[in-house]
Structure 1
Amino acid sequence: MDIRTEKPEEVEAVRNINIAAFGRENEANLVARLRGIASTFSFVAVESDRIVGHIFFSPVVVEGKCSRNVLIQGLAPVAVLPNYQRQGIGTLLIREGLKECGRSGFQAVVVLGHPEFYPRFGFIPASRKSLKCEYDVPDEAFMVLELESGSLQDCSGTVKYRSEFSLCE
């Protein structure tokens, strides 16, 4: 399994993976709206020359207070073709994506996802770092991972996603 940056000619394959994984177009449309925005990351999982998974990261901001300019990414979406799910591909995509976020200077990553899944990567409820989600979601579903220890120490407030997310239905 190879995890690498998405290539321009793979846009349609990535779209199809998101549609197949979620059974709808919302996430695929979100990726299309976010693609090309500065500081976004799009990675694919490739097996035998076939793209079988995808993960996307885009910048978020904290509306509140932070004693320094903390760079935070939002993880969304992560998708794996149905026939390849539950084989660790999503885990590989997340691990490699988090490494790249850290290498690129981001200090934290937030995710709105399954509270049973994401803690294995070190995510904790964002409320434990005085952060809340702009959307009305269960506390345990909105999580954060500090890529740089202590980076969120003096931060509190509401995490705001890019406006492209508000177009999701």
Structure 2
Amino acid sequence: MTTLRLRPEGPADTGPVRRVLTAGFARPDVSTPPEVGLVEDLRGTDAWIPELAMVAEYGGEVVGYALLTRVHVRDDGGSAPALALGPVAVAPHRQRVGHGTAVVQAALDAATELDERLVVVLGDPGYYRRFGFTRADRMGLTSPWSGLGEPWQALVLPASTSGDGPVPRGEVLFPPPWSKV
């Protein structure tokens, strides 16, 4: 029986992750989707957290990917760390069987274990609601995508050793590679 294996991305996964992203975000008007460049540009920056780049492997093949990277929430008193979810992709031949949900949940679980507090995402509310995401603007979070309404979402992760302190509010600042998508 083949099972799904969820794990952090390793050095040998660069090519397979690129293939999953290229296939998952394929569009007729571009040969390489911008999400591929986003991941490649984020690797090696201060925003990259190796434990939060998750792959789903099925039958020895990387079939899914979910990335959480460092962002900051700026308010009047300074800034607080947070995470951005994305891109998330599943190889077309393995879509609609739960691999996307599994790899996203694995990334969120890993973030919780690292005592992260807040995750933002721009995506389908119907999909991300299953993880507990809600409208980010209602949480006092803004970004270049705030004007899109419901797709701009946030999730407060369960507190562990970090306690139940206030959730950051303010402008979410993304690292430069995000400006290309």
Q: TM-score under structure 1 normalisation?
A: 0.90
Quote the sequence identity (%): 31
Question: What is the distance in 2 between the residues matched to 1:92 and 1:99?
Answer: 10
User: Is the alpha carbon distance of 1:102 and 1:65 closer, same or farther for their aligned partners in structure 2, counting shifts above 3 Å?
Assistant: farther
1:2-151 matches, within 5 Å, as 2-23=5-26, 24-38=32-46, 39-40=48-49, 41-65=52-76, 70-135=80-145, 137-148=147-158, 151=165
User: Is the alpha carbon distance of 1:152 and 1:66 closer, same or farther for their aligned partners in structure 2, counting shifts above 3 Å?
Assistant: farther
- Residues 140, 170 of structure 2: 8 Å contact kept: yes
| Stretches of 4+ aligned residues off by more than 6 angstroms | none
User: Is the alpha carbon distance of 1:25 and 1:49 closer, same or farther for their aligned partners in structure 2, counting shifts above 3 Å?
Assistant: same
What residue is the counterpart of 1:165 in the other structure? Answer: 178
Paired residue secondary structure (2:104) = helix
- Residues 74, 80 of structure 2: 8 Å contact kept: no
Paired residue secondary structure (1:119) = helix
- Residues 146, 152 of structure 2: 8 Å contact kept: no
Unaligned runs of 5+ in 1: none
Question: What is the distance in 1 between the residues matched to 2:124 and 2:25?
Answer: 14
* Aligned residue-pair number: 166
Question: What is the distance in 1 between the residues matched to 2:166 and 2:121?
Answer: 15
Question: What is the distance in 1 between the residues matched to 2:173 and 2:144?
Answer: 6
Question: What is the distance in 1 between the residues matched to 2:142 and 2:124?
Answer: 16
What amino acid is aligned across from residue 180 of structure 2 in structure 1? L
- Residues 137, 146 of structure 2: 8 Å contact kept: no
Q: CA deviation at 1:42?
A: 1.1
Q: CA deviation at 1:74?
A: 0.2
Question: What is the distance in 2 between the residues matched to 1:85 and 1:44?
Answer: 14
Question: What is the distance in 1 between the residues matched to 2:173 and 2:97?
Answer: 32
User: Is the alpha carbon distance of 1:100 and 1:65 closer, same or farther for their aligned partners in structure 2, counting shifts above 3 Å?
Assistant: farther
Paired residue secondary structure (2:116) = coil
